[in-house]
């Protein structure tokens, strides 16, 4: 699907402006600028070690408090620079959710995994049950777990746990969802389910997804960024990037061996 680039330009949910990441004297990311269209899926690909996961963690300020690591530049969320003064990190993270490579269910029941974040978020007690059910429905887990909500989340399979983590992130209704290779630790069937789930989020959540599966990126995303050695070698509509004649980009996208 080719994005129309004229008057119907989509709104930008998030804009990175000259973002760099340094650890001591070492530069991990150099001068990254990109904007994420609202409600769309943007994928970030690149060779291992290019800094994709590091870039993701900049958006929700997960580098805060890590010694010797510094973030330069600005991340604009609406007209607020997330790295400006007097920005409350907890508020940032309640608008920008994250799902990780390995499923990370808390050592609690399935129900509590979603109910607890909701409670902390300030959801009224009477609404929590409904919101938990809604979140589980969104990720397609409700039918599978509705009869055992109070069993430990660790009794679920890997794919189910990851969907639970996505449900947990979505339950607090973030506007942006960061995903760090969410399906890579799973079997192919689970991977496809997660991909379909992510695609179903179009229009409701802005997704920035890191992946090293190029076919997945091409299939799911509408915008694509190619990160090589800490620099953004290409960024734009997915099909346009795949058609790019730039040496570095073309080499990675077309002559790259996937595992």
Partner 1 sequence: MKAVRARWIDRTVGSGLGLLSLAPMVTVVGLAAYLVASATPVFRYMGWRFFTSLQWAIGNQYANHAVVVHGVKVMPDASFGALVFIVGTALTSFLALIAAVPVAFFAAAGSGYFVKGRIRHLLAGLVEMMAGIPSVIYGLWGLVVVAPAVTNYIGPWLNRVLSPIAFLSGPLGSETNLLVAVIVITLMIVPIIAATIRAVMERIPREMIESGLALGWTEGETFWRVVWPYARSAVVGGSILGLGRALGETMAVLMVSGDAMNILPQNLYSAIGTMAATIAGQLDSALTDPTHMALHALGALGLVLFTITVMVNLLARAIVKRASSGVSLAEEGS
The binding site for partner 1 (CB under 8 A) comprises: 57, 60, 62, 65-68, 89-94, 97-98, 100-108, 116-117, 120-121, 154-158, 161, 165, 168-169, 172, 178, 185
Distances (CA, A) of 188 to 30, 121, 256: 34, 34, 20
Q: What 3-state class would DSSP assign to 73?
A: strand
The Cα–Cα gap between 2 and 217 comes to 15
Closest approach, Cβ 204 to partner 1, in A, equals 19
Closest approach, Cβ 238 to partner 1, in A, equals 26
HSE-up (13 A, CA, CB side) for residue 88? 4
Pick 11 or 66: Cβ nearer partner 1: 66
Would you put residue 74 in left (φ > 0), alpha (ψ -120 to 50) or beta?
beta
Tally the residues of the chain.
Answer: 259
Closest approach, Cβ 66 to partner 1, in A, equals 7
Pick 131 or 168: Cβ nearer partner 1: 168
Selection from 65, 64, 70 nearest residue 28 by Cα: 70
Strand partners, 223: 42, 237
Closest approach, Cβ 234 to partner 1, in A, equals 28
Pick 134 or 240: Cβ nearer partner 1: 134
Pick 16 or 59: Cβ nearer partner 1: 59
Closest approach, Cβ 241 to partner 1, in A, equals 28
Answer whether 14's CB lies under 8 Å from 77's CB: yes
Pick 72 or 108: Cβ nearer partner 1: 108
């Amino acid at each position: 699907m080719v994005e129309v680039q004229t008057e119907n330009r989509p709104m930008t949910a998030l804009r990175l402006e000259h973002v760099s990441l340094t650890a001591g004297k070492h530069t991990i990311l150099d001068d990254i600028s990109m904007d994420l269209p609202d409600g769309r899926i943007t994928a970030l690909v690149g060779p291992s070690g290019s800094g994709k996961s590091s870039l993701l963690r900049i958006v929700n300020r997960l580098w805060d408090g890590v010694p010797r690591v510094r973030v330069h530049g600005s991340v604009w969320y609406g007209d607020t620079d997330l790295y400006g003064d007097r920005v409350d990190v907890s508020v940032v993270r309640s608008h920008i959710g994250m799902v990780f490579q390995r499923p990370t269910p808390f050592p609690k029941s399935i129900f509590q995994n979603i109910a607890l974040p909701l409670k902390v978020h300030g959801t009224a007690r009477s609404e929590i049950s409904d919101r938990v059910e809604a979140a589980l429905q969104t990720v397609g887990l409700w039918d599978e777990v509705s009869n055992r909500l109070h069993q430990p989340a660790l009794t679920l399979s890997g794919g189910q746990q990851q969907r639970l983590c996505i449900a947990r992130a979505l339950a607090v209704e973030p506007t942006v969802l960061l995903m760090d290779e969410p399906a890579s630790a799973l079997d192919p069937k689970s991977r496809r389910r997660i991909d379909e789930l992510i695609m179903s989020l179009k229009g409701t959540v802005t997704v920035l997804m890191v992946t090293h599966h190029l076919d997945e990126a091409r299939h799911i995303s509408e915008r694509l960024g190619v990160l090589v050695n800490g620099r953004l070698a290409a960024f734009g509509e997915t099909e346009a990037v795949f058609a790019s004649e730039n040496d570095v980009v073309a080499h990675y996208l077309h002559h790259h061996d996937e595992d």
